């Protein structure tokens, strides 16, 4: 896979750009920015992606590392979802036990 990605730099660049943009949007973005700042950020991401492309072609597993980072982000999202469901369930059980025992507010 590493050799194929090194022999297809355009595909590698698009993958790196898309993965870095996804990580930026999910981890670092806190609010919607004005269009000029958005374009500036995408230009810097493009510049950084070209540097990462050079490292990818030079046999470092940049794309694979980005995929691992996204998999870890997905795992954290699943964990937060499950914890949220448990919290809702425990709050519902707590409210139900209060109402059954006559402690309605």
Task: Check residue 102 and give its pLDDT.
Answer: 64
Sign of CA dihedral 77, 79, 82, 85: negative
d(CA 73, CA 78): 9
What is the per-residue pLDDT across 4-61, written as a single tens digit (0 to 9) for each?
Answer: 888 899 999 999 999 999 999 999 888 999 999 999 999 999 999 999 999 999 989 9
Task: Check residue 103 and give its pLDDT.
Answer: 56
| Exposed e or buried b per residue across 16-51, where buried means at least 16 C-beta atoms within 10 angstroms of its C-beta | bbebbeeeeeeeeeeeeeeeeeeeebeeebeeebee
Report the predicted TM-score, pTM, of the whole model to 2 decimal places.
Answer: 0.79
């Amino acid at each position: 896979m590493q050799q194929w990605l090194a022999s297809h730099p355009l595909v590698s660049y698009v993958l790196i750009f898309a993965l870095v943009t996804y990580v930026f949007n999910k981890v670092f973005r806190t609010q919607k920015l004005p269009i000029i700042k958005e374009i500036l950020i995408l230009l810097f991401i493009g510049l950084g992606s070209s540097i990462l492309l050079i490292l990818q072609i030079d046999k470092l597993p940049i794309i694979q590392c980005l995929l691992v980072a996204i998999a870890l982000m997905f795992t954290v999202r699943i964990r937060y979802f499950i914890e949220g469901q448990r919290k809702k369930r425990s709050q519902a059980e707590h409210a139900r036990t209060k109402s059954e025992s006559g402690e309605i507010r």
